[in-house]
Structure 1
Amino acid sequence: MPTETFEYQVEARQLLQLMIHSVYSHKDVFLRELVSNASDALDKLRLAALRDDAPDADTSDLHIEIDVDKDARTLTVRDNGIGMSYDEVGRLIGTIANSGTAEFLRELREAKDAGGAEGLIGQFGVGFYSGFMAADEMTLVTRRAGETQGTRWSSHGEGTYTLETVDEAPQGTAVTLHLKPADPENQLHDYTAPWKIREIVKRYSDFITWPIRMVPEQREGDDTTPEPETLNSMKALWARSRDEVSDDEYHELYKHISHDWRAPLETVRFQAEGTFEYQALLFLPEHASHDLFTQGHQRGLQLYVKRVLIMDDCEALLPPYLRFVKGVVDAQDLSLNVSREILQQDRHIRMIQRRLTKKILSAVKDMKANDAERYATFWREFGAVLKEGLITDTENREAICAVATFAGTHGDDRPTTLQEYVERMKDGQDDIYFITGESRQSIENSPHMEAFRAKDIEVLLLTDPVDEVWVDAVGEFQGKRLRSVAKGEIDLGTDAGKSDGEKEKQTEEYAGLLGWMKEHLDEDVKDVRLSSRLTVSPACVVSDTGDLTPALENMYRAMGQEVPATKRILELNPDHLLVRGLNQAYTAREDRSGLVASAELLYGLAVLAEGGRPKEPGRFVKLVADALERTL
C-alpha cells in the first residue's frame, strides 16, 4: 500500500500546538507518557494471550526498551506488546483529528484561567503527542500481534501526518523521537543523556510491572556488546502482601517520599476491591514539619494509576486537616486529563478521600488504645491540626472526638477525652466547661477558674489557636453543652452561705457603684456587674455569651478579616476588700479623681489577669505608681 498523507483540520492544528506548548508543566513527562503507553500495550497482550485471542503472539520476554543515539539525536521507546493494525493507527494515533475539536476550542477560549483550560484539555486522550515537546519529528512503527504486516506513521506535528504499510516490523510498537537541537545552556533537558533517562524512569515509572531496559553506551575501545540495564525496580510495596515487605522497606519508601530522615510513627495499608479498585500505603510521621501551619505548606499523597506516578502532591485525596499524612495511592482507573497531571474531580476521588480519612482515624484510635506512648507523640505533634477536622468535617466529627485528648484539671497530668470528662461529671452538672488561652500556666491562674477550683469542678484547658473555633462549631458532646468559663454568667453556688435576703441587700448596696463604673468605663465595657465566679481576685473581664473572645478577634484580624471591637463585661467580687473599699469611697462621695483612678486601675488589673494588655499601658503604669506612692 502506498504512503498516504493526511491533513489535520485547522482546529486540530491549533489544538496540537496548544497541547505541545501549554499543557505539560514539565517536559520530562513525555517519556512517562510513552512508557505508560508501552506498558498498556504489554498488559493488553498478556490479557489477549490468557484469552487465546492472540495465538501466534510471542509472550516469552515482555518488556519495554529505551534506545538513545547521541549522534543521530534520536530516542526510541519500544515494546513487544499487542501492537496496532493500520486502521488502529489511523484511529488511535489520529485521535486528535477527530470531530469535536471546534467546540472544544470554543470552550477553551472561554475558559478564564489556566486551570479551567487544563480541565477542558483533559477530555482528550492525546498523551502520545507530548513527544513533540522534545522532538521536531516523531515516527511510529508497529505490528499487531498475530498479523504479518506492520504500519509506519510519521509527523512533524504541524499540518500533516503520513501512514504506510511496511513488510518488516517486529511485534509491538516502536516510537522514535527525532529530538530538537541540543541547548548547550540547558543540560537538564538533554534526552540523549543516559543519566537523564534513568532519572525520569526512576521518578515516574519505577513501579511499572514490566522491566524497562536501556542499552548502556558503548565504551570506546570495548568491542563487547553491553548488557541491557533494567531501570525500574518493579517493586510496588503496596501491591505485595504484608509478609513480603519488611519494616525497613516501608521506612525506606517513607523516607524517599517525605524527605524525612526518621522512620514513620505508624504505617497504614489499605486495599479497596470491587467495581473500583485501588491500594494505599500511608504513613503517619513522628514529627511535624516546620511549615505545617504555613499557607504554602505542600500537602497531598503521591497518586499512581497502574503503578505510574501521576501527581506528587494530590491534595484531593485527603482533607486539609490530614495534611501531615504521607503516602501513596495506586488506582486501577481514574479520569485523567491529557497530561495525567491534573485529576478530574469525580466521585471516585471523593470516595477515596472518605475511605482513607476513616482508615487514618481508625489507625489513630487503635494507636490510642494500644500504645499510649506513641499516641502521646502523635497528639503532641499533630493534635492541633487534627482538631481542624472538628470544624470542617461533620461526617467524621464523632470519630475525631473519640481520638482527641485535652489537658484538664481532673487531678493528674494525663490528658482526657470528652467521653472521660462526661463520665466524671458531678451530679447535677449539665455543661462541659473549658477555658482557652495561650498557655496552661496562664489559664490555670486565671481568675475565671476560682469558683471552679473552689467547687472542684473539672475544666478543660485549651491552648491551641484552633480551640477558639472548634468548641463553637461542635457546640455539645453527648447532649452536654460545651461552655466557656470566661463567657456569660456562671453561678456555681460559691455564695451558698448567703441567704436570699443577704444577696438582695448586697445587690442594692453595690447598685450605685456599678452604674457609675459602667458610665465611666463606657468606652471599654458594655456592663459592670457583681460576680459569682470569683472567690479570690477583685475583678475579671468576661465575654458575653454570643460574643467573640479577644483571641478569636485577633485571629481573624491576622487573617485579614475586618472584625469590629467587642466590648467586654467587667465583673466585681463583692467580698473582696478592694471592691468593698471602692464602694465605701463611692458611697461617701470622696475625692472623685481618686475614685476614677481606682476604677480604671481595677479594670486594668482585670485585663492583665486574663493575659490581655491595657489600652493605654503608660497611663496604667502611672496609676499603679500613684497607688503605690499613697501606701508609703
Structure 2
Amino acid sequence: MATKHQFQTEITQLLDLMIHSLYSNKEIFLRELISNASDALDKLSYLTLTDEKLKSLTFTPSIDIQFDETKKTITIEDNGIGMNEADMKEHLGIIAKSGTKSFLAQLSGDKKKDSALIGQFGVGFYSAFMVAHRVVVQSKKAGEDKAYAWVSEGKGEYEVGECVKDTQGTQITLYLREEEAHFASRWEIENIIHKYSEHIAFPIYLHYTESSFEGEGDDKKEVKENITSQINTAKALWKIPKAELKDADYKEFYSTLSHDNNEPMRWIHTKVEGNLEYTTLFYIPQKAPFDLYRVDYQSGVKLYVKRVFITDDDKELLPPYLRFVRGVIDSEDLPLNVSREILQQNKILANIKSASTKKILGEIGNIAKDEESYKAFYEQFGKMLKEGLYSDYENKEKILELLRFDSFKVENLSFKAYKDAMSSEQKSIYYILGENKDTLKNTPLLEKFAKKGFDVLLLSDEIDAIVMPMVGEYDKTPLRSINSKEALEELGEESIDEATQKDYEKVIKGFKEALGEQIADVKLSSLGDAPLTLIKEDSNPMMANLMAQMGQKMPESKPTLELNITHPIVKKLKSAKKDKIAQSALLLFGATLVLEGGTLENAKAFNTQLNELILQSL
C-alpha cells in the first residue's frame, strides 16, 4: 500500500516555480531526465566491474523513450542502478544539492525574472513538472527483489509504494499538460535529443508506431509497424578526435554535462599519450555556479577510467580554486576498482591534476588577451584565482599574471601594467586594503602617495586581506601596504625642521590631550591634501572584520596622527586658543575616521562638537 509524504519546504517552493513559471525553454526537461538516466547507467556500469554481487548481472546499458499522442504521455526508461524506497525519499523528496537555498533566496517574485534563473541552476528531475501535471516513477534497484513506485502531482506531497517491475532500472512516465502535449511527438523528441543529448555515452532508443497503407480501393487497409530507432551517436565525445568535432558538438555536450543553459566561455580538449595516457575535456562557464562559495560545493568534473564512470564527487581532481570548471578526466592507467582513498594519494592522478591545472590557467591566459572577454570572466571568477595564490604555490607566478585590480589612477590593471608604469623613484608596488573602493579613494594617506606620483592598488575583496600580505613580491618588486613602515619610509617625505616643529608645539599638545588614548602619537607632515592623516601600521580592516565574524578580536593598534602643515586649517590652528584646538582635534579626527570607513568611539560627543561649531558659525 502506498504511503503519503510531504515534500521538503525547498522542494515545494521549487515545484511551485516550475509549475507556474513563464520559463520559455521547457524542452530541457527531457535533457535533465536523460542526463539522470545516463548517470544511473554510469553507476551500474562501474558496479558490475567492482561489486562481487553484481559482476554476474547481464547488463547492456540503454535509455528507451516511448510516447503516446492520444494519452499525452512520455516515458523515459533506463536499466541502470535503480532506486529502492529509501532512495526515492532521499532523491525525489529532498533537495540535497548544495546552493539550493541560495538559489531560492535569489527569487524575486517576478516570474519572468525568476524563470530566467531556472536554467542557470540545473533543476534535474523536478523539471518534469514544467510540462507534466502528474509524474509516475517506477524503479527497481540492481541486486534487490522489490520494486517501488513514486507518484506526485507536484502539489506538496507524493506517494511511495511497492509495484511490479521485472528488470532493474527506472521508468519515468510524464502525463503532459494540455498546453505541453506537443512534446509527445517523434519529431519533438528527436529534435530535443539531437540538440542536447547527442553525445550521451549510451544508446538512446525511440520506440514508436508508424502507419502505412496496403492495397487499393475497398481492399486498402492500414498497417501499423512498431519501430525502434537509435537517435544518438552514443560516443563519449571526449574520445572523439578534435578534428572530427564542431563547436556545436562541444556546446551540446556542455549543456548535458553542466545543466547550464548558457554556452561555455571556452573549452580545452586534450589527449595525452606516452608514460601516461589520458584524455581531458574542460569547460570554463560564463556564469559562476550557485554553490561556488559553499563548503559543500558540488565538483564539476567527472572521472572515468577507460570510459567507465568512476565518480563525480571527488574534489581533488582539480585544485579547489578551479571549482568553477566543468569537465571530464578519462584515464587509461588507473585501475577500475580505484577507491576514494587511493584516488587522493594516487601519483597518476596527481600528474593529471598538475598538467590539467596548467592547461586551464593557460586557457585563462588566452582569454586575458581580449580585454572585454577577460573582464566578463574576471567578474565571475577573479576571487577564485586569488584563492589559488595561497593554495597553489606551483602556479603562483602564472596566477599573479592573471590578477586584475583597480588602482587610484586606472581600472582593470595587471601587476605587469602597474610595474611598467612605475617611475624610477618608486621602489615597490603599493596597495591599500579596505571594504569599499570609493572610501579607499578618499583615504588621506593615499593622497600622500598620489602627490608623489605613486599609484596605489585599491583592494576591497575580503580575500585580499588574507592573500596580499603573503604574496610578498611580483617580478622581484616588493608588494607593500601603504600603512607599512617600509612604504612610509619609501615615500621619502622631507623632514620637518626644528623651527616648524616648535611653531606647532601647542597644536601637537592640544591634539594629544583632546584625543588621549585614541591615538599613539601626533606628528607633522607636509604631504597630501587633507588636514590630517591617520597612519596605522599594517592596518588590515578586512582581516579585523573576518576575525570579528569568527568571534575573535585582533590586537588593538592605535594610529599615529599626522598634521599636514601645508593645509590652511592646520596653519590657522597655530594661533587658535586651547579650546578651539581641542574642538578641532575631535572633529578632524572623527571626520577622518568616518572618511576611512571606521567607526567613531563616541559619536554623541562628536555630534555635540559639530552642532556647537555650526552654532558659532551662525
Interval containing the TM-score (normalised by the shorter chain): 0.5 to 0.7
Q: Does structure 1 residue 419 correspond to structure 2 residue 416? A: yes
Deviations 1:566-587 (A, max 9, x none): 32222221232323344444xx
User: CA–CA distance in 1 between the matches of 2:566 and 2:169?
Assistant: 82
Q: Which amino acid aligns with 1:297?
A: Y
Change (3 A) 1:626 1:280: same
Deviations 1:136-181 (A, max 9, x none): xxxxxxxxxxxxxxxxxxxxxxxxxxxxxxxxxxxxxxx9956236
Q: Does structure 1 residue 430 correspond to structure 2 residue 427? A: yes
What does residue 476 of structure 1 align with? 473
Change (3 A) 1:562 1:256: farther
What does residue 319 of structure 2 align with? 319
Q: Does structure 1 residue 615 correspond to structure 2 residue 601? A: yes
1:360-375 superposed matches below 5 A = 360-369=360-369, 371-375=370-374
Q: Which amino acid aligns with 1:490?
A: L
User: CA–CA distance in 2 between the matches of 1:331 and 1:416?
Assistant: 39
Query: What runs of 5+ residues in structure 1 fail to find an aligned partner?
Result: 1-25, 42-61, 69-74, 79-127, 135-174, 218-222
Q: Which amino acid aligns with 1:609?
A: L
Deviations 1:217-259 (A, max 9, x none): 9xxxxx9997777698532111111122221221122222322
User: CA–CA distance in 1 between the matches of 2:78 and 2:262?
Assistant: 40
Q: Does structure 1 residue 288 correspond to structure 2 residue 288? A: yes
Deviations 1:299-353 (A, max 9, x none): 4412222223332243111212212111121222436768879944322332222
What does residue 64 of structure 1 align with? 60
Change (3 A) 1:278 1:527: farther
Aligned length: 468
What is the Cα deviation at residue 212 of structure 1?
8.8
What does residue 105 of structure 1 align with? none
What is the Cα deviation at residue 430 of structure 1?
0.9
1:285-364 superposed matches below 5 A = 285-334=285-334, 343-364=343-364
1:402-551 superposed matches below 5 A = 402-410=401-409, 413=411, 415-488=412-485, 490=488, 503-511=497-505, 513-514=507-508, 517-518=511-512, 520-532=514-526, 534-544=527-537, 547-551=538-542
Change (3 A) 1:604 1:206: same
User: CA–CA distance in 2 between the matches of 1:322 and 1:597?
Assistant: 54
1:19-58 superposed matches below 5 A = 32=42, 34-36=44-46
What is the Cα deviation at residue 387 of structure 1?
1.5
What does residue 394 of structure 1 align with? 393
Deviations 1:76-113 (A, max 9, x none): 989xxxxxxxxxxxxxxxxxxxxxxxxxxxxxxxxxxx
Change (3 A) 1:29 1:357: closer
Change (3 A) 1:299 1:511: farther
Change (3 A) 1:277 1:577: same
What is the Cα deviation at residue 268 of structure 1?
1.3
What is the Cα deviation at residue 260 of structure 1?
1.9
Q: Which amino acid aligns with 2:477?
A: K
Q: Which amino acid aligns with 2:280?
A: A
1:164-179 superposed matches below 5 A = 177=143, 179=145
Pairing partner for 1:554 from 511, 520, 545: 545
- The DSSP-based 3-state class of the residue aligned with 1:348 is helix
The RMSD of aligned alpha carbons is 4.4
Query: What runs of 5+ residues in structure 2 fail to find an aligned partner?
Result: 1-35, 52-57, 65-76, 88-140, 151-158, 174-192, 210-222
User: CA–CA distance in 1 between the matches of 2:240 and 2:234?
Assistant: 11
Contact (CA 8 Å) 2:41, 2:61: kept in 1 or not? Answer: no
What is the Cα deviation at residue 492 of structure 1?
6.9
User: CA–CA distance in 2 between the matches of 1:604 and 1:268?
Assistant: 54
Contact (CA 8 Å) 2:389, 2:396: kept in 1 or not? Answer: yes
Contact (CA 8 Å) 2:78, 2:171: kept in 1 or not? Answer: no
Change (3 A) 1:338 1:295: closer
User: CA–CA distance in 2 between the matches of 1:331 and 1:525?
Assistant: 62
1:48-447 superposed matches below 5 A = 64=60, 177=143, 179-180=145-146, 182=148, 185-186=159-160, 192=166, 196=170, 233-334=233-334, 343-369=343-369, 371-410=370-409, 413=411, 415-447=412-444
Contact (CA 8 Å) 2:318, 2:357: kept in 1 or not? Answer: yes
What does residue 592 of structure 2 align with? 606
Change (3 A) 1:189 1:267: farther
Change (3 A) 1:290 1:609: same
What is the Cα deviation at residue 266 of structure 1?
0.9
Contact (CA 8 Å) 1:65, 1:212: kept in 2 or not? Answer: no
Q: Which amino acid aligns with 1:615?
A: E
- The DSSP-based 3-state class of the residue aligned with 1:186 is strand
Deviations 1:375-411 (A, max 9, x none): 221122211221121222221110011222222345x
User: CA–CA distance in 2 between the matches of 1:409 and 1:67?
Assistant: 59
- The DSSP-based 3-state class of the residue aligned with 2:520 is strand
Q: Which amino acid aligns with 2:609?
A: L
What is the Cα deviation at residue 560 of structure 1?
4.3
Q: For structure 1, which segment, 237-246 or 508-517, has the greater mean C-alpha deviation from structure 2 after superposition?
A: 508-517
- The DSSP-based 3-state class of the residue aligned with 1:466 is helix
Structure of greater Rg: 1
What is the Cα deviation at residue 426 of structure 1?
0.9
Q: For structure 1, which segment, 560-569 or 248-257, has the greater mean C-alpha deviation from structure 2 after superposition?
A: 560-569
Change (3 A) 1:456 1:338: closer
- The DSSP-based 3-state class of the residue aligned with 1:280 is strand
Q: Which amino acid aligns with 2:330?
A: D
User: CA–CA distance in 2 between the matches of 1:257 and 1:244?
Assistant: 20
- The DSSP-based 3-state class of the residue aligned with 1:621 is helix
Change (3 A) 1:261 1:30: closer
- The DSSP-based 3-state class of the residue aligned with 2:547 is helix
Change (3 A) 1:76 1:419: closer
Contact (CA 8 Å) 1:435, 1:484: kept in 2 or not? Answer: yes
Change (3 A) 1:187 1:228: farther
User: CA–CA distance in 2 between the matches of 1:31 and 1:619?
Assistant: 71
- The DSSP-based 3-state class of the residue aligned with 2:270 is strand
TM-score with structure 2 length normalisation? 0.64
Q: Which amino acid aligns with 1:270?
A: T
What is the Cα deviation at residue 537 of structure 1?
0.6
The share of aligned pairs that are identical, in percent, is 33
User: CA–CA distance in 1 between the matches of 2:46 and 2:298?
Assistant: 27
Q: Which amino acid aligns with 1:610?
A: E
What does residue 558 of structure 2 align with? 567
User: CA–CA distance in 2 between the matches of 1:288 and 1:76?
Assistant: 31
Q: Which amino acid aligns with 2:531?
A: P
- The DSSP-based 3-state class of the residue aligned with 1:330 is strand
- The DSSP-based 3-state class of the residue aligned with 1:179 is coil
User: CA–CA distance in 1 between the matches of 2:303 and 2:163?
Assistant: 24
Deviations 1:462-484 (A, max 9, x none): 23222222221111122221122
Contact (CA 8 Å) 1:310, 1:341: kept in 2 or not? Answer: no
Q: Which amino acid aligns with 1:303?
A: L
Contact (CA 8 Å) 2:206, 2:230: kept in 1 or not? Answer: yes
User: CA–CA distance in 2 between the matches of 1:340 and 1:284?
Assistant: 26
TM-score with structure 1 length normalisation? 0.63
- The DSSP-based 3-state class of the residue aligned with 1:303 is strand
User: CA–CA distance in 1 between the matches of 2:562 and 2:530?
Assistant: 10
